[in-house]
Structure formats: C-alpha cells, structure tokens
Structure 1
C-alpha cells in the first residue's frame, strides 16, 4: 500500500515503515551524512545517509505500488516533509529485484550500486581520485569529494532526474552544445526515463523548453520565451524565488533560490507538465503553485506558422490567422485542425519595383507571446531605427522594440508559437503588403492624380500648396484637440470618475483644488532637457525616473513608464487617482501627469535623497543611517501604512511595498511611493483574490504569492520584510546567515535584540 502523496509519486508504506522502525537504533547512534572509502549501505539493514540538518535521505526505496523493484534515491526526510518525495534516482533504468542491494564507495573513489548477487547495477565517479568521501548535503546534492572537504569531483546535481532543486542548474555545455535535461518518470510508479524532458534551448537562445519524445524525435512542447535580463518574456512566473541566467566558460545555465524558508522544487511530471511545488514550513504539506503548459494555447506551435492562439470565454484554445494571412488548408482549419498554419495572401513588395501596390508596411498586434526564433539587435537605439532596419531587410518579417529590456528583436523565419493574451507585455509589428493595410485604393487614386496633374504643372503646384496648408492646419487643430481631451479626462474626468463612485479617499487638506495638472509631452521634454542622461535619477522594470525643472523653477521627479512595464492605462489611471487624492506626510505627492500617444508619465515632488535602497545598501552611504534614523524611517513608513489601511475612508492595499519604493526627503523622512498596483477596498471588504499576482520577489506574503489572496496582511508582511532589511542593512534576497544558512525571515526575528544593540553601539552608526 502506497503512502498518500501530494505530488506524483511516493515511497511505499512498507519502505517507510522499515526505514522508521528497523533503522531506529542505527540512526540514533550512527546517523551520518558521509560514506568513507570501503564503506557501504545495505538495503537489507535499511541503512541510509541523512544530511546534516535532517533535510534529505539517501537510501533504497520502492516507488508507488511496486514492492519488488528497488531503487537508490534521495528523498525528503520525514522531519521536513509529511510525504517523502523522491528528488533523485540513481538506477532509473535498472531496478534491483529484492532487498539485497548495496551502495558502496570503493577505495579508488568509485560509487557503485550492486544487487544481491554483487552484479553491477549502476556506477559513478570513474575518474574520481582515491581517498574520496561520499556526502549528502542539505541542499539534496550527493557529492564525491576528496577527504577533508576538498574539491568536488562528482555530484548528483550534474546528473538530474526529474526534479529541479534550488541551487541546481539547467545548463548547456559550452563545448558539446548539449543541454542538461530533467527527464520525467515513465509513470507515477516507474522512475525509468519518461518521454518528457526540460532544459535550455540547444540552439543557443536564452529560453527553457519542454520536449516530448515521439518515436525517435524530440518535439518541442512548451517554451518560456526569451530571457530579457530580468524575466522570461513568454510566461508569467510566480514571485517565489530569485532566478536568472549565468554565462561563463563552462556554458550557460539557469538557476534559482527561494525567497523564504519554504521548500520549493520544480518537477518535470510524467504527464508532460512542469509543476512547481511549494511546502509550508508549518504544515509540511506540498502544494502545486504553478504549472506549464498552463493552458492549451501554451502548447508549442498550437496554431502553426502565422497562426495566433487565444482562449475563448470557456478558456478553450482557438486559432486565427494573422492579418494578411489565410489558412493553408481551409477544410482542416474549419475542422479545428490548425497545425497546417496559415499562408500570406499578398506577397511582400520589398525591392520589387514591378509591384504597384506601394511599399510594405507594418501591422501592430497587441499583447502577444513573441514568436520563436528571434534575432536580437541590441545596438538599435530606438523603435524608429528598429523599424527602419526591418523595413530595409527583405528577409525581415516582423519586429518588436522594448527599450532597455529587449531592445530590438526581429524575425526572418516563419512566425510560430504566437499566443495573444493580456498577460503579455509586448506588441508585435508584422510586415504586410500595402494592400493588406488598406492603402491600395489610396495608392491607385494617388497614381491617377499624379498622372493628371503632370499635364497641369502650375495647377499642381497651387493645389500642392493649398493641400500642404490644409494638412498643417489640421494637424495643429488635432493636436490642440488631443491636448484638450487629455486635460479634460485627467484634470476633470478621472477625478470626477473617482468622486462619483463609492470609493472616496479622505483628503487631509480641506478646500484644496483636487484637479491635477496635465502637461504636454513637449513641456516635459523641456523640463527634463529632453530626458538627458545626466538628469536620470534611476531606472527599473517600470521605466526611468528623471529630474526636471518646471517653468516656475520647481524641481520635480519625472517617472516615464516604458511600454514593457506591465502597467497599462487602467493601472496608470489608478495611480493618478489614488495619489492625487491622498494627502499624508509619509506618502509621496503627485504634482501632474501626461498621457500622449504611447507615453505615460507621472510628475512627483522631488526628494533629494532618492530612494531608501540607494543609501541603505550602499557601503559608502549607509553609515549616515544610525539607529535613531532607521527607527524614524520605520515609524514613518508605519504611519503611512496606517493611513492607507485605516485612516483613509476606504482601505488601500499597496501590494508592492519594498525598500526601493520608499523615498527620503531632505530630512530623511520616508514617503511611500508607486501606487500602480494598489487596490481599494470597500468598508466591508477584508480580503480579495486575483489571478494576476503582481509585486516584487521576496516581499510577497505566501498566501498572495501562492493563491493570489491579498489583504492588509499582505502589506504588513511586506512591511515586516522591509523592517528586517532596514535593521540588518542587507537585501532580503541576498541574505544568508553563514553559520546556519537560514533566510532573513527566520534569522532576524530570533536575533533582533542583539542586532539592534549592535547597531546602537556600533561606532560607525553613532
């Protein structure tokens, strides 16, 4: 009988019983994490290795309902996990029959697994030096190293099974070009390699793939999208860990570390889904918090070349051809067989002078998972330049520009694996023939007009002058109209929208005009010296912040949002509405805004000391923050948060409280900023749920990160993390206590008094 398991496999009840009963006496006296030369572990005696802090166990087990087949593996210790989840298997392809197996480390340093007849089942470390030891680490890594904790000559992390643990690497060998793969089990009860695997793209792009083995072919099943230096642009990942790509002489690899004390693991499941499992330290139960593919549109190339996938109201996958394209096989497409994809209706003109339809143009497709096989052009300075490069290249079929994060990306092969959804940040510009852009009739009329006017040169000149004057006047009128509309919407419209609803926010300054000044983009360019690099105060995923000077001489901070920031028009309006109405000494003051074309800009009061992280984490500046100042900053943030949660007429949940969103004025008084993700609660509301989890790694409460459930407690959790960072002077994401290797969440509360006392008496802080 198998133990119940939260995930896809478990050790049999019999195996666990033998481990807990037969080995009680040996473990109590001789539990060890190390095997020395000439020593062995016996399955019959239920002997195991246990990591130093009782996190992982190495031994023999039988998976699922199987009792005859025995495997050597690593699983979670019962002290940390209710279900002993297996994370690594040595002899996946060759199980041992019966309980006569042994794990042996030879004098020469070879690690072997033998059956009851001493037949070799599995081995590792053939090139290992003599006088080596085998050790099971608390990270779940089994290592062979020279005696005395010397160089590691072999480790299980380099030969993964189906589980991606924190600290492991999904790598690509620089010499061979072969990816390091995580391969699923064949079934829940069979650890043999299955047909699904996960790894880095062997073709060199910085993205992760899931492959399915079909016959002798390995077919792409899912991809993460390209890595832009901060995240994967083709998927939405839970904010549970720090992750990133690294490049070195050995190759390229992806790795991650969790933010808090919770156990975390990625598993390539036998059913083709990659699931992220998270365990609560309190309950020791596992819960699936993320999986890919998350829906049918996530399946690779669902709609074929030049087809786009979308979800209907029942979240069923549907396909449509891109504009300017039609189904390659109409009958199959009508029968919902979309794999044939689409073909272009009108061929591109490019440099073909015989084409009379006019020059090719671009059609913008909003919010898409960008196609596979992109070509990067990081030296392109602007979207205009990116467009020109693609226009002048006959092979270029589409482009996208993402400012600082992805710069310019272009495609010269079939556009495949496109998924249109609001969860994505980028717009794809697809090259089409002029006739597909609605310009054919205009082109014909223009040709006819030129032909007729060629016989009447003088009249042509007169008409041309009149037409030029008319267009110039129309543009001026249109610009004035747009400015008036923008001013009306923001100075009055947005405020009135807010005031007319049931969501009012209390103003502390009675009688003050609530209308917010709206500035033109030209005025903001002048104020910032055309966004001069020397005026830049900072940057982030949202965009850039510049110092500016208004015509009256007032210094301001100008926040220019990038299109890839993820903050849409509604979130921008939300921030404008909230901050313009809130009045508190510990909240940043909004002075104006701008919405013009694709530009979304906020104008704040200028705070000379910038953000708290610029001082707190700077080794040359942090000395100015003695204990009294740190305490005052904590108190000021608490007052601002109390106003948002209790003293406003409605509760306002910030949802992105972090050290970089705390600004400091000239007297080091803190002000909470960045309300783009804030939510307003009604008088009887205490919590809310969202499918779009936003925020910052390390500051998000577990229930928000895992379930999308947020409330005042979410902000309080973030505030607690912020307090710890202020006290210790380190980022929560990089803190690890060297002696105990614990996170800031566990270490600081247990040691807060001595830490504060040290701050008070530290001569650097007095």
Structure 2
C-alpha cells in the first residue's frame, strides 16, 4: 500500500514538473473551452502557439507566434486586438453558444473577432501554417481565419491583394511605435493601380515600389525581396487578385516579412527596404519615392540624433493625432522654422514635439528627463554655444 502511495505521489510530482507557468492545450478550441492568460494553443506539429502576451506595462494582446525561444517581438506573426489592448491579465478567448469567437475581459465589452448565429456548432483550430481558422463542424465550412486579417507580418500562405467579390483587402499595417501594436502609418500591399507590383504606402502616398514581378522575383534590384531567397506568385481571377510567397526550408524555418513602425521592410536576415533617408535625396535604396520638400528646405537638410535634455519647451502636438516618429520628422521639415524634433514618449517613440530654436543651455544624458532629440544639421552649424556634439547621423 505504501509503495502504491509513493508511486502516485511520484506521478503527481512529475506532472507538476511538466506544467510550467503556461498550460499548453491542443490545437483546437471548442465551444465551452477558453484560452486565458497562461494558456496556449499549439499547432499539431508544434510550429506555432496562440495565447496572450504583453510587451510593456499591463497591456495584453492575443497573438500567434513561432514556437521558439526568441523574444516575443521577434517571433510574433499575428495580433488580434492591436488597437484594443486589455489593461490586465483577465483576457479569455472563447466560442460562445451562438458561435461568436470573442475575447472577454474585465472592465469592458468583449472584443468580437467573428459574429456567429444562434445554434452554431463551431470550433477553431491553429494550423501549422500559423493560420487560426474557425469552422462550422456540421459541414466543415470555414467561417473566419486570421490570415484574412494580417497585422504587420507576412508569412507563407498569407495574401497581399483584394477579394474581388467582397472588396476585402489583404495588406500589412505597421505598428505605431517600437512596442505599440496600434495601427501605424505604413501599409505594405498590392498596388491598386498597377496590380503586378507591391508598394509601401505612408498614409495615402506611395513610399516605395517593388517593380513588376517577373518569374517569381521583382525587378527592383536593390530590394531583398527580389533575390532567390523568396519565390513570389501572382494570382488573378474573377474572385481575387493577390500575391503570396514561399521560402525553402533550407533558408529558414521561421520566415517572416515585417513592416516596422519606420516603414522598413525586414526579415530574419535584416532590413530589406529602408527609405528613411529619402528626405535628403541620398537614399541608396532603389524605388524609394523622394519626399516633396517645401522651398525653404534643401535636399542637404538632414537630422542628427543626440540623447539630451532641452530646457525650453517646444510645441507639442495633440496625442489624439497618434503621430509616429516619421510623422514628427515630416512635421518639422514642412515647418520652415523647425530646427529639432523628438517623440514625446521616448520608449514607444510616439507623439511629437518640435522646436524653433536651440537653447543656449543643454543638459546631457545624465538628466533624468533626457531623450533622443533630432537636430537639423544647418541649425547645429549656426550654434556658437555648442559647436560640436557627440551625435550620429539619423540618415
């Protein structure tokens, strides 16, 4: 009897060792189940996980990521509630009796991902492609899928294009800041006017173009997406027009194309498209669209960054404008009096403050309120109080 008791205790101890801080479920969520903070769905072959995560403070998001040991920002492939973070760990993903796929949480209305019908018999499965699919069990009809609502990352199987029947578009949208998943100002998708090429848009303006697709590769010779690493396909019929891509597993087992908050396109090898220096006209990246500068600005006007503290307050734009760091630079360039700009929220690099003069007095990085401030090169040259700075070129 004592031996049996010891065996039971040993089995329970082993079980507790395997149940860590998170509880991994099977790949399928059925009605009556829930995925809450600490729980994870795992795809059949273990390629992907779905669960709640946080990047800063108490903002929680539901997302899908590669099942590896990288930081969450580096293996993430999809965010469900990027504009509606949950401000505590009370989030719970469920399928209710009416077939609604929703995120419930304390202190607010549910975030509905799919609205079902009364009497629906549905389940949702995390596939080994990274796609999360809601199905009607009676006839296996696909009701909703995460691939139809990409965030800022493209993985093989996702589409960039348009559904001709519904008008629904597939495109990537950047984050608003470094750790702010809210919708940003850059989109990456199919060119609506020339559907055989991809574009990055900044607000409503073309920022970069890929060139046309020829034999699986784009004609833009300086773009990383034009090399043999990627094989793009273009499909157009009466139902839909889109691009997708594939990558051989000998290159990578976790492919991702990411549009970041600065409008740069990158993958696991590094940055592929970078048009940040287009304001100065010195961008080495082919097919970056030059900025339209006012007459008071020159292509030689560039900004330099310095981690410091300004004793005089600048003009702060309203937080409701949701300005990014790139927006702030544009605000400064289009204001002929502006000589410096900075994000008002340093860690996130969001918000905007601009200055029309450089103060005679500075305090460097030792000040607790120091942040990264970008100074116009011509303004620095005119400053006699501080002829030199330990700074680096932003472009």
Smaller-chain TM-score range?
Answer: 0.5 to 0.7
Of residues 279, 290, 293, the one that matches 1:302 is: 290
- Counterpart position of 2:206: 220
- Counterpart position of 1:42: 36
Q: 1:147 deviation in Å?
A: 2.2
- The 8 Å contact of residues 141 and 155 in structure 1, kept in 2 or not, is answered as yes
Q: 1:291 deviation in Å?
A: 3.1
Of residues 319, 330, 336, the one that matches 2:299 is: 336
Distance in structure 2 (CA, Å) of the matches to 1:238 and 1:106: 46
Distance in structure 2 (CA, Å) of the matches to 1:246 and 1:333: 46
- The 8 Å contact of residues 179 and 200 in structure 1, kept in 2 or not, is answered as no
Q: Measured at CA, do residues 20 and 265 of structure 1 come closer, stay the same or move farther in structure 2, by a change above 3 Å?
A: farther
1:269 aligns with 2:269: no
- Counterpart position of 1:51: 43
- The 8 Å contact of residues 212 and 219 in structure 2, kept in 1 or not, is answered as yes
Distance in structure 2 (CA, Å) of the matches to 1:89 and 1:272: 18
- The 8 Å contact of residues 186 and 192 in structure 1, kept in 2 or not, is answered as yes
Any stretches of 5+ residues in structure 1 without a counterpart?
1-18, 278-286, 305-328, 339-766
- Counterpart position of 2:77: 87
Q: Measured at CA, do residues 219 and 127 of structure 1 come closer, stay the same or move farther in structure 2, by a change above 3 Å?
A: farther
- Counterpart position of 1:242: 231
Q: Kindly provide the CA deviation profile for residues 364-423 of structure 1, in whole angstroms up to 9, marking residues without a partner as x.
A: xxxxxxxxxxxxxxxxxxxxxxxxxxxxxxxxxxxxxxxxxxxxxxxxxxxxxxxxxxxx
What does 1:600-639 correspond to in 2, within 5 Å? none
Larger Rg: 1
Q: 1:138 deviation in Å?
A: 1.1
Of residues 146, 149, 169, the one that matches 2:159 is: 169
Q: What is the root-mean-square deviation in Å for CA atoms of aligned residues? A: 3.0
Distance in structure 1 (CA, Å) of the matches to 2:51 and 2:93: 8
Q: Alignment partner of 2:70: what SS?
A: coil
Normalized per residue, the structure richer in helix is 1
Q: Measured at CA, do residues 129 and 200 of structure 1 come closer, stay the same or move farther in structure 2, by a change above 3 Å?
A: farther
- Structure 1 stretches of 4+ with a deviation exceeding 6 A read none
Q: 1:48 deviation in Å?
A: 1.6
Distance in structure 2 (CA, Å) of the matches to 1:166 and 1:128: 34
- Counterpart position of 2:280: none
- Counterpart position of 2:319: none
Distance in structure 2 (CA, Å) of the matches to 1:20 and 1:298: 51
Q: Alignment partner of 1:48: what SS?
A: strand
1:156 aligns with 2:146: yes
Of residues 252, 269, 288, the one that matches 2:270 is: 288
**Larger RCO (CA under 8 A, 6+ residues apart):** 2
Q: 1:241 deviation in Å?
A: 2.8
Distance in structure 1 (CA, Å) of the matches to 2:234 and 2:205: 24
Distance in structure 2 (CA, Å) of the matches to 1:32 and 1:230: 36
Q: 1:332 deviation in Å?
A: 5.3
- Counterpart position of 2:196: 206
Q: 1:238 deviation in Å?
A: 2.4
Any stretches of 5+ residues in structure 2 without a counterpart?
1-17, 277-282, 302-395
- The 8 Å contact of residues 273 and 285 in structure 2, kept in 1 or not, is answered as no
Q: 1:228 deviation in Å?
A: 3.5
Q: Alignment partner of 1:249: what SS?
A: coil
Q: Measured at CA, do residues 122 and 334 of structure 1 come closer, stay the same or move farther in structure 2, by a change above 3 Å?
A: closer
Q: Kindly provide the CA deviation profile for residues 549-574 of structure 1, in whole angstroms up to 9, marking residues without a partner as x.
A: xxxxxxxxxxxxxxxxxxxxxxxxxx
What does 1:522-601 correspond to in 2, within 5 Å? none
Q: Measured at CA, do residues 160 and 335 of structure 1 come closer, stay the same or move farther in structure 2, by a change above 3 Å?
A: closer
Q: Alignment partner of 2:147: what SS?
A: helix
Distance in structure 1 (CA, Å) of the matches to 2:116 and 2:206: 34
User: With structure 1 as the length reference, what TM-score do the two structures score?
Assistant: 0.33
Distance in structure 2 (CA, Å) of the matches to 1:121 and 1:138: 25
1:194 aligns with 2:184: yes
